[in-house]
Amino acid sequence: MSDSDIEMVVAIIRPDKLGDVKKSLAEAGAPSLTVTNVSGRGSQPAKKGQWRGEEYTVDLHQKVKIECVVADIPADDVVDAIADAAHTGEKGDGKVFVLPVSDALQIRTGTVGVDAV
């Protein structure tokens, strides 16, 4: 689906799915990942609520962002491993995006390119 040898798979998932996703990635042969706490909203309109008589709007939900850079394994397999583990079927399950990467370096060894990933 891309002509890049190295790709970054970026997924935004429910925080309580992180453990399952890490396990699924390790089983797919792609154990390396970077995790960031984020918040966000998808296509749903903001939810309105009441608290002590005041109306408030919840429009950003806590999510976890996972970034996995892959080279040996097809990015599609990594996308599927994440989606399988993160799926509940309810709105808010998240998204996965694939971005091209033009180069990589492993700092300890100085290795560059596909072998550095």
Ligand X SMILES: Nc1ncnc2c1ncn2[C@@H]1O[C@H](COP(=O)(O)OP(=O)(O)OP(=O)(O)O)[C@@H](O)[C@H]1O
Select from Mg ion, ligand X, a copy of itself, none the partner in contact with residue 75, using the beta carbon and a kind-dependent cut-off of 5 to 8 Å.
Answer: a copy of itself
Q: Supply 76's token pair.
A: 């599609």
Residues 70-89, one symbol each (x = binds ligand X by CB under 6 A, - = not), give --------------------
Nearer to a copy of itself, 51 or 90 (CB): 90
* Residues in Cβ contact with 43 at an 8 Å cutoff, skipping those fewer than 6 apart: none
DSSP 48-62: EEEETTEEEEE--EE
The two beta strands, 6-13 and 95-101, are: antiparallel
Nearer to a copy of itself, 34 or 49 (CB): 34
Q: State yes or no: residue 44 binds ligand X (CB under 6 A).
A: yes
